[in-house]
Structures are given as structure tokens and as C-alpha cells.
Amino acid sequence: MKKGLFSKLVATFAVIIAVSFIITAAFLSYWFESYYFEQRKGQLETESQFISTAAEQYLQGNVSPDKINETLTYIGNYLSTYIWLVDNYGYVYAVSDSEHKALIGTQIITKELEELRLGHTVEKREVYQNIFKGPVHTFEIPIFSKGIFKGSMLLHTSISELREPLKRVYEIIWMSAILAIVVSCVVIYYLSQRIIIKPLEQINYVADKISKGEVDKRVSIESKDEIGTLARSFNSMADSLEAVEKNRREFISNVSHEIRSPITSIKGFIGGILDGVIPKEKENYYLSVTYGEIQRLTRLVNDLLDLSAIEAGQFRLRIEELDINEIIRLSVIKFETKIREKGLKVDVLMQDDELYVAADKDRITQVVTNLIDNAIKYVGEGGTVRISTKTKGDKALVSVFNDGPSISKEDLKHIWDRFYKADKSRTTKLSTGLGLSIVRSILTQLGEDVWIENKEPQGVKFVFTLKRI
């Protein structure tokens, strides 16, 4: 990963830098060349005065041909240029370089004569085969004597010679481009290491650890940029993973614990009967105790299966129109024996005979049964249980109240948790601690609310909502 990201970054930057340097260099050299030629032109035009004077002298017959050639050679060397003088018909009559002597007497220009006659300087690039090695830059400057056109001078400078000083400039430009690329690679390397690559490696490392089960590992990146945000999201994801993992461990230990105690007692009693430790006449009693434990196990397993099915969303809810008052009445009847045994006073208070709601009948029966079961289980002997329904807007409120000690703040926090039992000593035989979890899961799936209220002077009330039709 390290190499990939780094080389991509470097390649991108190098390309950007190279392209910008090429563009800059192209502009610079274009500008430089024109500037340079302009300068050259200025210089040659100034110096052309001397040549003009020399030419005039010659044309007036004051100077010998050798002398004029000599003068031209001198000036030509000084300006590092080749000078040819032509008359008003374009015929060469003097040259600065002895190699070009053969040209004397030949007509070298025709076309430009018009321009020159008008006093304009002509500038051109030309390739004179067999005379110059490469292309030359030529200025043709007219010569006037007392206002009369007397021909022209041709000043040739070899282009490669002209470019010589420019070469140095190009070298500097390209050297600095390469230097800039190298420096920026180094800078990019350090920055990308610090800002991107190291943090990503850390996240990767921690992700790997977490996937191997070390869910308590976290990344420590504090930066305020996108990588920092990623690190924080990653950590909060790890938090929830850890919570899930903790939950799972607790669940397994709870289930094992719940199952172990009935199994231990079943094993003990049946073992006792088999080895004859338990006397024959007591066998029936212990078998019925064992039977009770098996029932408890069955209830536990059924509750667990229900809960996991509800939580996994495997129960397809069959929403129908049902009379909640009728469901409550039927549920109360199921508890008749228990109510009588405990000598309870049970009130059922309803606004109307019928109250129609939209819900799943089996699931709602389960909710009502669980809540009434709790009320009866946790109310004292001869206590009061009150079940009521009323309407509030488009909701029906169902409440199950029982008198008895109120539930402590600490218990209120955990009462909906799986396997949570407030009074651990008293309730173990009869309870699994799953009833309220099931109640809440069902109501959550139906999109309804459930809550608990402690009542004055004493008593506990569970309330849940349903949607009215």
C-alpha cells in the first residue's frame, strides 16, 4: 500500500511540475529569443552607421576595395557578423570575410530592393547553401547618401551562434526543473508519510487486530482532516463491535448459567433415585421436583427461541384489527388459579367494552400475558393488580399495575435487559429474566412504546401503546 500511494502521488506531482516547467520554459525561451533578436537588431542598426560611412567613402572613390574589405572585416569581427555590401541593383561589391570574395559581382537581392529603397530595414531567416553551414539571421539595412539610395548592407549572423547564449538559459531552466522535481519528491514523501500513509497503516494494523479478536484496540489519530474523521469513525465502529462482542459473551454466560442449575438438580435427584440414596417412598416427590425443573428449562428455551426469532425479525407480523379489551379479559382468565392462590384483588378498568387496535394477535397476547404474569408474580399476597385501557389521540394505552415495593433506580436501568432479575434470591425458581426483553422486542417491532412508572404510595405500573383504528 505504501509504495502504491506514494508513487502515485510522486508521479502526479512530477507530471504537474514537468508540464508547468515545459510551458514556462517554452514561454521564456520564446520571449528571450525575441528579446535577444530585438537587442541584436538595435545593436546592428547603431553600428550600421560606421558601415554606411565606409560604404559612402568607397562609393565616392576615396577608399580602395582592399581597404573597404578590411574595414568590413574589422567591424564584422567586432559584431561577430558577416557583412556584405550591395549596390542599388543588388550586386555585391564588398564582403567582410575573404571566403565570400567569390560573391563579389553577383546579384544577391532583387525582391527586397523596393523595401530598402523606401528606407525600411528587412529582416529574414535564410539558408545560403554552400556559403553558410546553417541558417542565418539576416538584416538588410539600406544605405543612403545625401538622401539618395545607394544600395544596402547585409548583416548575417549564424542562428546557431545567436542561440549559443540562449542555450545556457535553457540549461538553467531545465536544471531548476529537475531540482524542483527532486525537492518536491522529497517533500511529498515526508508529507504523505506523515499525513496519509502512516495513519492509513495504523488504521490497517488496528483493523487487522480487531478482525483477529482484539476488539479493544483503537487508533490514535488526532488530526482534524478527513483521515482524522476516518479514524474517529473507525474507533466508534470498533466501540460498537466491542459492545456487541461483550453482549455476546454475557449472553452465552447467562444462558449457560441459567441452564446449569436446573440440569445440576435434575442430575442430582435422578442420580439419587438410581443409586437408591433416595428412599422408594420419596421417589415420587423428587420426580415431581425434577419435572418442575424440566418445565423451567423448557420455558427458558422457548423464551430464548422466541427472543432470538423476534430480534432476528423472523416473525412475520400479521397485523390485524383486534379488540385489545377482549385479549386482556382472556389473558386474565388464564391466571385464575394463581390469582385465587395468592388471594389477589384484580381490577380490570376499561373505558368501553371494546377497543380496536391494529396489531399482531399472538404477539400482543404474549405481551399482555408477560406483563400480567409479572404483576401477579411480584405483587405481595392479597395485593392488588389493576389492568386498564384508555385512548389518547390515535393511540390506545394499556397499563398493568400492581401494588408492592417500587423498583429502584438501578433496577430501572436494566429491567429490559435479557436475563435481568431485580431480586436475584427470590425469583430464581420462577423467572428467566427474559419476559420483559420479549415484551420490549415485540413492541419495538410494532413501532410502539413501552415504559415503566413507579406509583405513589407504592406500586409499579407498566404502560404500552397500540395504534387505534
Residues lying near ligand ADP in the complex (CB under 6 A): 370, 374-375, 378, 402, 404, 407, 415, 420-423, 427, 431-436, 460
Q: How far is the CB of 274 from ligand ADP (least distance, A)?
A: 32
28 touches, from ligand ADP, Mg ion, none (C-beta below 5 to 8 Å by class):
none
In one letter, which amino acid is 201?
E
Residue tagged 546592428 (cell numbers): 44
Q: How far is the CB of 258 from ligand ADP (least distance, A)?
A: 10
Q: How far is the CB of 326 from ligand ADP (least distance, A)?
A: 23
Q: How far is the CB of 385 from Mg ion (least distance, A)?
A: 14
421 touches, from Mg ion, ligand ADP, none (C-beta below 5 to 8 Å by class):
ligand ADP
The whole-angstrom separation of Cα 133 and Cα 221 is 68
Q: How far is the CB of 379 from Mg ion (least distance, A)?
A: 13
407-436: contacts with Mg ion (CB under 5 A): 435
Name which of 112 and 258 has its Cβ closer to ligand ADP.
Answer: 258
Judge whether 448 and 394 are in contact, CB under 8 Å: no
Secondary structure element (H or E) that encloses residue 14, with its range: helix 2-59
Q: How far is the CB of 430 from Mg ion (least distance, A)?
A: 8
Give the DSSP per-residue string, 299-336. Answer: HHHHHHHHHHHHHTT-S---EEEEEHHHHHHHHHHHTH
422 touches, from ligand ADP, Mg ion, none (C-beta below 5 to 8 Å by class):
ligand ADP
The whole-angstrom separation of Cα 107 and Cα 86 is 8
For residue 85, the number of C-alpha atoms closer than 13 Å in the C-beta half-sphere is 28
Judge whether 56 and 71 are in contact, CB under 8 Å: no
Name which of 193 and 261 has its Cβ closer to ligand ADP.
Answer: 261
3-state secondary structure at position 226: helix
Name which of 68 and 376 has its Cβ closer to ligand ADP.
Answer: 376
User: By CB under 5 A, is residue 374 in contact with Mg ion?
Assistant: yes
Tell me which residue has its CB nearest to Mg ion. Answer: 435
109 touches, from Mg ion, ligand ADP, none (C-beta below 5 to 8 Å by class):
none
3-state secondary structure at position 437: helix
255 touches, from Mg ion, ligand ADP, none (C-beta below 5 to 8 Å by class):
none
The site for Mg ion, by CB under 5 A, has a size of 2
The whole-angstrom separation of Cα 237 and Cα 219 is 11
Name the residue among 88, 121, 132, 126 with its Cα closest to residue 107. Answer: 88
Name the residue among 65, 44, 46, 42 with its Cα closest to residue 55. Answer: 65
**358 φ/ψ angles, rounded to the nearest 5 degrees:** -105, 115
Name which of 82 and 419 has its Cβ closer to ligand ADP.
Answer: 419
User: By CB under 5 A, is residue 383 in contact with Mg ion?
Assistant: no
375 touches, from Mg ion, ligand ADP, none (C-beta below 5 to 8 Å by class):
ligand ADP
Judge whether 219 and 231 are in contact, CB under 8 Å: yes
Alpha-carbon 290 to chain mean position = 60
Q: How far is the CB of 306 from ligand ADP (least distance, A)?
A: 12
Name which of 44 and 438 has its Cβ closer to ligand ADP.
Answer: 438
Q: How far is the CB of 199 from ligand ADP (least distance, A)?
A: 46
Site for Mg ion, rule CB under 5 A: 374, 435
